[in-house]
Amino acid sequence: MNWHRARELFIVIALGLVSNFIAAAVLRRFSPYLIMLACAGVTALYYLLATVIWKPLSIANHARIKGWYKSYNDAKPIVKKALSAASSIRMMTIASSAITSDERGEVLDILEGRARDGAGIKILILNPDSKWAADRLSELDSLKPGRFTPESARQKKFANLQTIIARNRALPSNKIKVRLYDARPIWRIYIIDDIALVSSYLSRKKGPESEHLILARGSDLFSTFERVFDTLWDSVETVEVVTTPEPAESEPPRS
């Protein structure tokens, strides 16, 4: 028997005896049956609490999970508060609409303000012309068919990208760095100083609609997502200028 099991057994026996002595004092009798009943009851209660409450809390504490949110909208107030005081910001997303279009560009305004104050900002966006962007659009189109055509979605992504680049060029030292990655989008990652907001891109949900976790620096999970971002960032070049894209070629009409 290892130390943890021995400790648990000792705790159960001790609690059973204590509860039995209390019962004996109240009932004015001491019975071996009460000892057995009290030990059994305390054991069941102990393991119930350990399984349902203590163990999950211990796992969350070890992973340094600071919050769980049903969607990005639920996590947004905390994210904006963290962004407003951040000195280092790394953001990885499929499209930049969460940055440029969120509540009339409030997130972009915050990023511009932090950049003017000297914060380092890196933004990774899925290349709108990549195969993976088209695949992701097909997944979302199955939810609401016909909402976006591939070309309109592509043009919108480029327009959002141009907005970020234009804001950056207006800054004294171009501190908002933007890069386009070309890989299957799996994670949505915001690393803001010593916390990370992460979620996954599920096939039947938009990114903001997925569950989000907030992790604190110091855990393996935080380090893993940090490595995911840094590896992709180092594999591509910074985008300095984005020109208005030509419409994608379409097949000629059949005669």
Does position 248 have pLDDT exceeding 60, yes or no? no
Express each pLDDT in 221-230 by its tens digit.
Answer: 899 999 999 9
Q: Can you tell me the distance from the alpha carbon of 144 to that of 97, in angstroms, rounded to the nearest whole number?
A: 18
Domains and CATH numbers, the chain: 3-62 (no CATH), 66-234 (3.30.870.10)
Q: Can you tell me the distance from the alpha carbon of 121 to that of 207, in angstroms, rounded to the nearest whole number?
A: 21
Residue 119 · residue 175 · CB < 8 Å? yes
246 or 145: which leads in pLDDT: 145
Report the range of poorest mean pLDDT among 22-36, 59-73, 137-151. Answer: 22-36
CA distances from 76 to 4, 16, 20, 82, 230 (A): 40, 47, 51, 10, 24
How many C-beta neighbours within 10 Å does residue 105 have? 16
Give the amino acid at 110.
I
Element (H, E) at 180: strand 176-181
Q: Can you tell me the distance from the alpha carbon of 245 to that of 158, in angstroms, rounded to the nearest whole number?
A: 7
- Taking each helix axis from N to C end, the angle separating 72-84 and 106-116, rounded to the nearest 10 degrees, works out to 20
Q: What's the pLDDT score for residue 191?
A: 96
Give the amino acid at 217.
R
The 3-state DSSP composition of the chain as helix, strand, coil percent (nearest 5) reads 50, 15, 30
CA distances from 249 to 113, 183, 246, 252 (A): 39, 23, 9, 9
Residue 179: beta bridge partners? 124, 238
Does position 3 have pLDDT exceeding 60, yes or no? no
Express each pLDDT in 85-139 by its tens digit.
Answer: 999 999 999 887 778 876 556 888 999 999 989 899 999 999 988 898 888 888 7
Residue 79: beta bridge partners? none
Average confidence score pLDDT of the chain: 77
Element (H, E) at 216: strand 212-216
Q: Can you tell me the distance from the alpha carbon of 86 to that of 114, in angstroms, rounded to the nearest whole number?
A: 7
